[in-house]
Structure formats: C-alpha cells, structure tokens
Structure 1
C-alpha cells in the first residue's frame, strides 16, 4: 500500500472489505423485487410479461382454487431464491454483521 495511489488503495483495501456489504444489499434487493406483487399486478397487462407472483395469482380460478397446483408453483418459484441465498449466505451474514461489533 505504501507508495500506491488512491486507485491502488481503493481496489486492494476498500473494495475487498465492501464485497460482503454489496452482496447482502444485492440479495435484499433481488428478494424484494422477486416478491413484488402489487405494482406488477397494476402495471403489466400482457400475460407473457407478468412476474412469477402475479402469474401464480392469475393461475388461481375464481370459482375453485386447486391447492396442489398453486403450492407446487410456489415451491418451484422459491427454488431460485433458495439457491441464491445458499450461495451468498456467508457474505450475507458478514455484510449484516460487519458494523455490529466494535473491534
């Protein structure tokens, strides 16, 4: 670090320390976007462009709800989120607890 410019210090010191924070913020953003329901329901009128949650909602029949199909769709829709969280869990915990303990 001695003799290095601001970019060297940024890329070798600041950026590696900030990676868990960036990943945890990204994971929270993906989760909130994935679970968004009201805004896509109001805005999207084309059936081919709806989100997963709106598609599951529209999959239900007004007269009868076939619970097996709806629950299996919910399970399949949650698999990408579980896989994403499984791969980023270590960084998510580091990012959430990075400012919690004073060293």
Structure 2
C-alpha cells in the first residue's frame, strides 16, 4: 500500500517545477533537495507512521513463530496475559494503556505531517 501511495504522490508533482529549476541552472541534486524533499516530507512521514502502526500491531505472525515468552512482541504478550484461567481486567487494561503511550507520543509529534500527507492529493489547485 505504501508503495502505491508514494508512487501516486510523486507522479503528481508537476514536471514544470523540475524544468524551472533546471532553467535556473540547477542540477539533479538541486531538484532533489529544493523540490522533492520539501514536497515529499509529509507523505514520507505519514506513510512511515502507517508502517510503524502496522508493525506495532502485528499479532498473528509473532504468535505463530515465537513460542519463547522472552521473545514475544507486546501484542502477543498481552494476549497471553489474558489467556490465563483468571483474567485480571484492571491489570490488562493498564498494560494496554501503557502499550499505547509510545504510539500516542509518536503521533502527537507527527500529526501535522500526517494530516498534510493524507490531504495532499485530495485538493487540486
């Protein structure tokens, strides 16, 4: 999914902008630094955040291949924590709350770029 979103975004950058930089005497590196990076920063950060969320929430693959309790991911550990005879709901909910804190902190720092990346292709000038 990320590849398709990024490809569509880069295809949407007008070629006239690249041509104007080359007319002004810029080379390929100048095009990359002054045009591509500023345009692509929101989409790169938003797709990076989506990838981090997908990796963070990955459940089934680690459940199948990690039998050792010391190598479990966080989501599998929470599942195994609830899989006992008695479920202590207070401890489970507090562990889930603590598990979501790093993602909330990451999102709060990248929220501006995430919104820009999601809305960049939605508005035509």
State yes or no: 1:11 paired with 2:11.
no
State yes or no: 1:35 paired with 2:73.
no
- CA RMSD across the alignment: 1.0
* Length-normalised TM-score, structure 2: 0.79
**What is the DSSP-based 3-state SS (H/G/I as helix, E as strand, rest coil) of the residue aligned with 1:85?**
helix
Give the aligned length.
103
Alpha-carbon displacement from aligned partner over 1:45-91 (angstroms, at most 9, x marks no partner): 22111111101111125321000000000000000000000000000
Question: How many angstroms apart in 2 are the aligned matches of 1:74 and 1:42?
Answer: 21
Aligned to 1:96: 118
* Length-normalised TM-score, structure 1: 0.95
Question: How many angstroms apart in 2 are the aligned matches of 1:102 and 1:61?
Answer: 50
Gaps of 5+ in 2: 1-20
TM superposition outliers: structure 1 runs of 4+ over 2 Å: none
State yes or no: 1:67 paired with 2:89.
yes
Higher relative contact order (CA 8 A, sep 6+): 1
**What is the DSSP-based 3-state SS (H/G/I as helix, E as strand, rest coil) of the residue aligned with 2:123?**
coil
TM-aligned CA deviation for residue 11 of structure 1: 1.0
Question: How many angstroms apart in 2 are the aligned matches of 1:62 and 1:28?
Answer: 32
